Structure 1
Amino acid sequence: MTYQQLKYLHPKAFKRRCGVQPNTFNLMVEILKPDLDRRGKKGGQCKLSVEDQLLLVLEYWREYRTQFHISTSWNLSESAVCRLIRKVETLLMNSGKFRLPGKKQLYQQADNWQVIVVDVTESPIERPKKSKEITTAARKKHHTLKAQVVVNQETGQIICTAFGKGKVHDFRLFKLDRLPMLPNQLCLADKGYQGLAKLHPDSCLPTKKPRQGKLDNSERQHNRSLARLRIVVEHVNRKLKIFRILAERYRNRRRRFGLRFNLISAILNFELSSPF
C-alpha cells in the first residue's frame, strides 16, 4: 500500500498503520526531500517517491519484517532497502528536528523538570556468537540489551537515555550514566534502584517487604501512591514498543540500536509537544 492510498485515511488510522501522525510524516518528508528527491540531478534515482521511501522505513520500524520481505513488497533489491533505511535514519537524526534534550538539560532547565522518573526496558537480541556472557540478563535468562529512559513525570517527555548490556544491573547502569541531577529534583524509581538515596537524597523508592514479614498499611499506601506517579514511564515504554523493532528480537548489529532507540524516542517527544 503506497502513500497515495494511505493519505486519505483518518489520522488515527494513519498513526495505527505507520506509527506516526500525518503532520509528523509530512515534516519528515520535508527533511528528506533535498537528499532523496533526485529528479533532474546526476546519479541514480530511486523508483519510489520520497513519501514511499519514508513509508518503507516506518514499515520496517513498525512491523520489523525482514528486509527481504519488504524488498519483495516494494519491488526493490534487498541491498537497496538496507541502504535506504540507513540513509533515512541518518538524515532524520542529523536534521536536528528529532533530538532528545540530553543529560545537560537536567540542570540547565531544572525548573522545567522538578520530578523525573527513571526506568529500564529490555529488548531481546540474537544469541551472541563469541560468548553468552556478553549480554546475558541474569534475571530473565536470555540475551538482551538494556535501555534506561529518564522521563519528565508531568509531561511524559523523554529527557535522555542510556544503554547497557543485558547482564548490567539497572542500578549499576544508572551509576555509570552519571545523571547530573540537582538536589531539588525528585527522582522516582522502582525496587531495582535500592541505594539510590545515597547518590541522590531527593529520591523516592517503594518499600520492600521484609523477609518473612509484611508491610503495614502506611507502607502499602506509599507504594500505591508511588506506583500512580511512576506509571507514566510504563506508558512511555509501551509507546516505544509499538515499534516492533524495539519489542521483538533485534536482528541487526547492536551498534545502531542506540541511534534507532533515540530517534524513535525523539519522534514520540515531538508528537507529544506538537500542537496538533
Structure 2
Amino acid sequence: MPQKFQYKDPKKQKKSYSGKKKTHTYKVQAIIHYKTQQILSLCSSRSTVHDFELFKRNLKQIPLGAFILADKGYQGIYTVYSNSLLPFKAKRRCKLDPELKRYNREINKRRIGIEPVFGSLKKFKILSERYRNRGKRLGLRFNLIAGIYNFELSKK
C-alpha cells in the first residue's frame, strides 16, 4: 500500500508562491547612481510584496540626499520620500496633455540610462535564468554580484 508523504510546513512554500504566475518568485529592487552607474543599494523580497511596499521597508538604505526617478508603480512616493520624480499617469479613458507627455518623456530619458546596468548584470547566468538555489540566499548572492559589478566598473 503506497504511503502518502506530506510536506511538514506548507506555509513555508506559500511565502514565495505566486498564484498568478503559478511558480515561486522573488523580487529584487536596485537603487543605481545615475551618472556613475554604480549599484548603491539592493532590496530583495518574496513575490507577494508590492514594489512600493518594498521601497518603504528599505527606506533607510537610500543614501542621504539621493534624488529618485521611479516608474508609475510608485504612486504616492512623495508622501514617503519628497526628493523624487514620477511620470504622470493617464486617467481612465482620458489622454494626457502634450505638456505632460513631454514631461514623462524627459523623466523616462533619464530612467532608461539604468537599463544597461541590468543587462550587464545578466551576464551572470544565475540572474538571467531560473533561480534554483535557496530563497534565503538570494539577497546575499545578488549583493555579491552587485559588488563584483561595482568593482569591475571602478577598474574601467
Which bracket does the TM-score occupy, shorter chain normalised? 0.7 to 0.9
> How far apart, CA to CA, are the structure 2 residues paired with 1:218 and 1:137?
39
Aligned length: 146
Name the residue aligned to 1:247.
128
1:137·1:168 contact (CA, 8 Å) conserved in 2? Answer: no
Structure 2, unaligned runs of 5 or more: 1-8
Q: Which amino acid aligns with 1:221?
A: R
Aligned to 1:185, what secondary structure does the other structure show?
coil
State which of 111, 131, 136 in structure 2 corresponds to 1:230. Answer: 111
Cα distance 1:178–1:187, how it changes in 2: closer, same or farther (>3 A)? same
Q: TM-score, normalised by structure 1?
A: 0.49
The worse-fitting range, judged by mean Cα deviation, of 168-177 and 228-237 is 228-237
In the alignment, does 2:42 pair up with 1:161? yes
CA deviation string 1:2-37 (max 9, x = no partner): xxxxxxxxxxxxxxxxxxxxxxxxxxxxxxxxxxxx
> How far apart, CA to CA, are the structure 1 residues paired with 2:19 and 2:102?
31
Name the residue aligned to 2:73.
192
Name the residue aligned to 1:219.
100
Aligned to 2:94, what secondary structure does the other structure show?
coil
Matches within 5 A, 1:114-125: none
Q: TM-score, normalised by structure 2?
A: 0.84
Deviation at 1:130, TM superposition (A): 2.6
Aligned to 1:210, what secondary structure does the other structure show?
coil
1:145·1:164 contact (CA, 8 Å) conserved in 2? Answer: yes
Deviation at 1:160, TM superposition (A): 1.1
> How far apart, CA to CA, are the structure 2 residues paired with 1:245 and 1:210?
39
Name the residue aligned to 2:10.
130
What is the percent sequence identity of the aligned residues?
A: 44
CA deviation string 1:180-203 (max 9, x = no partner): 554x43211111111101011121
Structure 1, unaligned runs of 5 or more: 1-128
> How far apart, CA to CA, are the structure 1 residues paired with 2:151 and 2:23?
33
Query: What's the RMSD between the two structures over aligned residues?
Result: 2.0
> How far apart, CA to CA, are the structure 2 residues paired with 1:268 and 1:243?
10
The worse-fitting range, judged by mean Cα deviation, of 192-201 and 255-264 is 255-264
Name the residue aligned to 2:142.
261
> How far apart, CA to CA, are the structure 2 residues paired with 1:136 and 1:164?
12
2:44·2:138 contact (CA, 8 Å) conserved in 1? Answer: no
Cα distance 1:138–1:191, how it changes in 2: closer, same or farther (>3 A)? farther
Name the residue aligned to 2:155.
274
Cα distance 1:147–1:133, how it changes in 2: closer, same or farther (>3 A)? same
Matches within 5 A, 1:1-276: 130-131=10-11, 133-137=14-18, 140=21, 142-179=23-60, 180-182=62-64, 184-275=65-156
> How far apart, CA to CA, are the structure 2 residues paired with 1:157 and 1:139?
33
